Chains A and B, each alone.
Chain A
Amino acid sequence: MNTTFILGLVILAIGVLSVAFVRPKTYVARLINLEIPAWGLLLVMLAYDEALAILTFVAVTAIGTFVIVRLLEWRDASC
């Protein structure tokens, strides 16, 4: 099997487990852990030669992180 595919699947599994069982149970730790499976999924997409999908996925992940960060700041300010 392809090295990129295997490495992507391993990083994806590590990231999903770390998001599910996050140790300091805070929103920030979970948000940072959420970026780990994104890189694993990027490697899996790379194994299938989907350049446009990778570009879109990276951009949307960054925008999604920005939205969640704004949401966390708003939630902390409100309570």
Chain B
Amino acid sequence: MIAGLEVAFGLIALAGAVSAALIRDSYGKLISLGILVAGVLPFIVDRGYLDVAVTVSLIAPIATIFVLMVARREES
């Protein structure tokens, strides 16, 4: 990968991980998790594993939806 892109996506993934660890709100945590996935996914694509990239992009939102059900129940 281009070095600049590598640094940029690495920083995006790190920002997602740190903010998901520090934010106290459940919905904020889920949004930060999306940022983390967005930073990790280009590294998978760069390696050439397009099947893994397709699987990850399909399964990651499904896991988010599962957690979202609990978060909504907890808030009410």
Residues of A within 8 A of B (CB): 3-4, 7, 10-11, 14-15, 17-18, 23-24, 26, 28-29, 31-33, 35-36, 39-40, 42-43, 46, 49, 51, 54-55, 58-59, 61-62, 65-66, 69, 72-73, 76
A-B contacts at CB below 8 angstroms, number: 104
Main secondary structure of the interface of B (DSSP, over half): helix
Closest to B46 in A: A4
Size bin of chain B's contact surface: 35 or more
Known: A29-B29, A65-B66. A58 touches B47 (CB 8 A): no
Residues of B within 8 A of A (CB): 6, 10, 13-14, 17-18, 20-22, 24, 26, 29-30, 33, 36-37, 40, 43-44, 47, 49, 51-52, 55-56, 59, 62-63, 66-67, 69-71, 73-74
